[in-house]
Every structure is written in C-alpha cells, then in structure tokens.
Amino acid sequence: MDITKLTITKIQKLLKQKKISALDVTKAYLARTKKLDPEIKAFITITDELALKQAKKIDDKIQKDQKIGKLAGIPMSIKDIYLTKGIQTTAGSKVLKGYIPQYSSTVYQKLINQDAILIGKTNTDTFAFGASTENSGYFTTKNPWNFDYIPGGSSGGSAACVSSSMSVFSMGSDTGGSIRHPASLCGITGLKPTYGRNSRYGITAMASSFDCPGPLANTVEDIAVITEVTAGKDPLDATTSSTSVPKYSKLLNKHKLKGLKIGLPKEYFSGSIDKQVKQKVLETTKFFEKQGAKIIDISLPSTNQGIAVYYVLVPCEISANMARYDGIRFGQSKKDIKDLLSYYLETRGAFMEDEMKRRIMIGTYALSAGYFDAYYLKASKVRTLIKNEFIETFKKVDTILAPVSPTTAWKIGEKIDDPLQMYLADVFTVCINVAGLPSLALPCGFSSNNLPIGFQLIGNYFQEDKILSIGHQYQQLTDYHFQKPKL
C-alpha cells in the first residue's frame, strides 16, 4: 500500500483501526519530500523534526484510545505567508528571511488543534505577488508534470507539493486566483472561499479586501473536511463572517445534478483562450448536461474590465500594506516618480524583489493626489458593477462554470520579463475576487503535451456547500483527480 496516495478519510480510517500509525504516514511523506523536493523546489522550509514529534504524540493518543482531531495524522504543508509560531516565515521574500513569528495565524492554529502534521512551508511569489512562483525571492518551483514549466502562482509551491504527493493537502491564499490558478495548472483541486469565510489573521497581507485563505488537495471530499476546520468567525479578524459553518463533508451529495442550472458566461470563452483549454471545459459542460443539468448561456459584460479594476485596486492596497516593512511614506516630498523610485531603492527597498517594488509603485501612483479620482475611485465603482452583475446572474442559475486559466502552464522564463502578459493569466479568476465569491477549481483533462487543464465552479455568497457538492459528484464520475505525474 502506497500511503502517499491515500485521502484524508482513508488515512483517518486506517489510523483508527490501528492498521497504520501517524509515524508511518509522516515518514512516508518526509521520505518522498527528501527524494523529490531537491528537483521540484516546493518548500522554503521543511519541518521534519517537528512533524515526527507531532506524529508520535498522535500515536500515543491512539494507543491510549484518547480522542484525536479531525485531521489527526494528516501531513500538510502551508504557504509561507502563514505565520507559524517558532517557525521561519518569509512570505517568499528576502525582506523576511530569518523572521520567526511569536504567534500563529488563526487558520494554521485551527489545523494544528485538529492534529494535522506540518511537513513544511511552501514557496510563493514574494508576498503572494505573482502568477508563476517565479517572483519568489529564493527560487522557482517547477511543475511536477513537466519540470520545464511553471506550476502557477502565487500558491505554486503548495500546488506542486500536493500534485507530487509530498503532502496530503496544503493551505494557500487566493487574492486574484492564486489557489485556483496553480491548482488548475498542476491538476489538483483548490477552493477559494467566500471573502470572510476563513480568517486572514496572522497571514501576511497582500490586498486586505481581496485576500482569501483556502485549501488545495486531491479531492473535493478532502477540501470539504479541511474547510469545516478552517472556516468560521474569528474575533481577531473583523472581516470574518458570523454565518454558520455547514458540515460540508456531510453535504457532498445534497445538490443533485439533475435539474441543476449551470451558467456559461460567453466572456470566459472568447478572446485569447487556448483552443484545447476551451474544448476541455466545454466537454465538461456536456458531461453535466448528460447528468440532467441545464446549461444556460449568460453574460457578465464587465468581465473585460476585471483585470484593469484588479490591477488598480490591489496595488493600492499593497502600497498601504507594504509600508509596514520599511516605514517609508511613499511619495512624501518627492518631485516625481523617478525621484521617488530612486529614494526607495536606496532604502530597505534594496532587499525587495522586482514585482514587489513594481506593485508598490503602481499603487502609490494611483493613490496620489492627482490621480486618486481617475484611477482608484473609478476602479471602485466598476468593482460594484461587477459584483452586481454576479448577484443578478445568481437569480437565474445555481452555479457558473468557466475556465480557470486561458492557457495551460507555460515554460519557466517565458513571461517573466513581460508583467502584462503575466497579469493576463488571471483574466478568468480576478472578477470572482473583485466580487468576493467562492469558487472551486477542478481538473478536467490534459493538453496534447500532457499538461493539466482545469475548470471552476463559481458559487453565490457562502454557498461553498453547493459548489463542493457539484464538484464532488463530478469527481465521483470522472478520474482526472486520480491522475498523477510520473515522478
């Protein structure tokens, strides 16, 4: 039996039957990590000693027939933007190299409280700024399906880790697609919850009104179990919702496919979308149609404004959030942008990665006195339009089905010198973050060169149970989520 191919439910069952131990599971994943990570480079920090110590404690509980947590014995990895008490947290940037937090993020603490075992902290674009993990201050993570290709970003380390079976699940974050995008490009499942469903406390901030912590795993069932643990009101995060948390894992067959109304937005199937991606996603709609679902053509006309809105509002919030790392008031008493950039580069900005500097400068410019109305205020108004379009659409459909990425993974280095092309990789994901909706990414096939293709199910606010149910039933009738790279 290959332990590294088991789901959360199967591992838990075997643990309770005492057919395997938490130590067996942990050693299997650490051995695989030791073998594969030198090439894939998914981890910034590997916590092997801590993991073995946690596993022994769980085994002691099991031997004494004591109660164990919902995730007991399950090896997990965490994107390195989550604060972990006593464990280095770098956010993928040299700015925080060697930083040891004095407290843990709420989501991480909830997982540890349920006896999950931390294998390590995963690589990310610096402070989660990027779509390829090439913007990390340390190294580029490779796609397990082909080492010449990027894994997506910014949760690329987390996605590569799960795809290559170096952890059962991983926690990422999604500000504009950073869970769904790498999940799609690495052939796994990822959930961006409703904004406020999971606490942001103790997670390095990118754009505070967009950021959504969420899980990446192999199956929807695993995603449901994890989200039951992480979701809920947090007194330490005022933006978390008091909406009750359903038993997601018990509702996976609740929403039947027969009679389901699935919206197909025309804007997501036009423009620069790759032909093979479009074909595979449309084949998925035919699958649902055969199961009795009704496919309804819809329009989300402000979709084309999504990238522009996102890349005005998000850098503005980045500009404010990043100020804490060097104490500079960007733009103060400086004559122009060149003056400001020169001053900035001479300070702690010298330790910051290029994409981090780029977004800070864009945001500072858009917030400056002469441009606030032209950029930030206008983008905020269009954000409201995008949100209202989704609200009206969900009066007609149960879920929206769309591609995640317009292309499959691209080669490492192919777009790194063209930031605009990199930003356009998020064209099908950013509007969901602009509106704050939940979305589930699932694998649905492969390209002619054997690179994964994914689709997303977009839900109405706090209807994670519905999209998880639909996604689970899809996976019960397909096998794309079982297919793994040969490593």
DSSP state at residue 419 = H
Mean pLDDT of 256-278: 95
Q: Which two tokens stand for residue 142?
A: 């490779």
Give pLDDT, residue 345.
Answer: 54
Inside any domain, residue 216:
yes
Number of structural domains in the chain: 1
Residues 6+ apart with CB under 8 A from 363: 314, 315, 316, 317, 318, 319, 320
Closest to 456 measured CA to CA, from 403, 408, 379: 403
- Evaluate whether 438 touches 451 at the Cβ level (below 8 Å): no
Partnered with residue 475 across adjacent β-strands are none
- The Cα–Cα gap between 443 and 138 comes to 29
Give pLDDT, residue 330.
Answer: 35
Closest to 8 measured CA to CA, from 53, 70, 66: 70
- The Cα–Cα gap between 402 and 458 comes to 8
Closest to 44 measured CA to CA, from 85, 94, 6, 10: 94
Residue by residue, DSSP assigns 220-247 as HHHHHHHHHHHBS-BTTBTTS--S----
Q: Which two tokens stand for residue 335?
A: 């004559």
Active site residues: 79, 154, 178
How many CB atoms are located within 10 Å of the residue 39 CB?
12
Closest to 170 measured CA to CA, from 80, 86, 87: 80
Mean pLDDT of 123-151: 96
Inside any domain, residue 23:
yes
Task: Identify the residue whose tokens are 């992480």.
Answer: 230
Give pLDDT, residue 424.
Answer: 87
Inside any domain, residue 116:
yes
- Evaluate whether 435 touches 194 at the Cβ level (below 8 Å): no
Mean pLDDT of 203-218: 96
Please say if the pLDDT value at position 318 is more than 70. Answer: yes
Q: Which two tokens stand for residue 224?
A: 């449901």
Inside any domain, residue 456:
yes
Please say if the pLDDT value at position 413 is more than 80. Answer: yes
Closest to 167 measured CA to CA, from 203, 216, 202: 216
pLDDT band at residue 421 under the 50/70/90 scheme: confident
Q: Can you tell me whether residue 409 is helix, strand or coil?
A: coil
Asked if omega into 154 is within 30° of 0 (cis), the reply is: yes
Give pLDDT, residue 327.
Answer: 44
| φ, ψ dihedrals at 372, nearest 5° | -55, -50
Residues 6+ apart with CB under 8 A from 106: 199, 201, 202, 234, 236, 237
- Evaluate whether 187 touches 452 at the Cβ level (below 8 Å): yes
Mean pLDDT for all residues in the chain: 93
Burial class (CB in 10 A: 0-12, 13-18, 19+), 428: buried
- Counting every residue written for the chain, the total comes to 487
pTM (2 decimals)? Answer: 0.93
Q: Can you tell me whether residue 149 is helix, strand or coil?
A: strand
- Evaluate whether 432 touches 190 at the Cβ level (below 8 Å): no
- The Cα–Cα gap between 83 and 346 comes to 29
DSSP state at residue 194 = P
Q: Which two tokens stand for residue 227?
A: 């989200």
Angle, helix 8-16 to helix 22-40, in steps of 10 degrees = 150
pLDDT band at residue 153 under the 50/70/90 scheme: very high
Q: Can you tell me whether residue 173 is helix, strand or coil?
A: strand
Inside any domain, residue 332:
no
pLDDT-above-70 percentage for the chain:
95
Inside any domain, residue 396:
no
pLDDT band at residue 17 under the 50/70/90 scheme: very high
* First-to-final CA distance of the chain: 17
* Residues spanned by the domain of 20: 3-257+404-482
The CATH number of the domain holding residue 141 is 3.90.1300.10
- The Cα–Cα gap between 253 and 364 comes to 48
Q: Which two tokens stand for residue 379?
A: 């983008």
pLDDT-above-90 percentage for the chain:
84
Give pLDDT, residue 350.
Answer: 61
Q: Which two tokens stand for residue 88?
A: 């280095």
Residues 6+ apart with CB under 8 A from 55: 21, 22, 23, 25, 26, 27, 73, 117
- Evaluate whether 81 touches 203 at the Cβ level (below 8 Å): yes
- The Cα–Cα gap between 297 and 38 comes to 46
pLDDT (tens digit per residue) in 338-354: 555 555 555 555 667 77
Please say if the pLDDT value at position 299 is more than 80. Answer: yes
Q: Can you tell me whether residue 249 is helix, strand or coil?
A: helix
Cα–Cα distances (Å) from 417 to 156, 206, 272, 355, in that order, read 19, 22, 20, 11
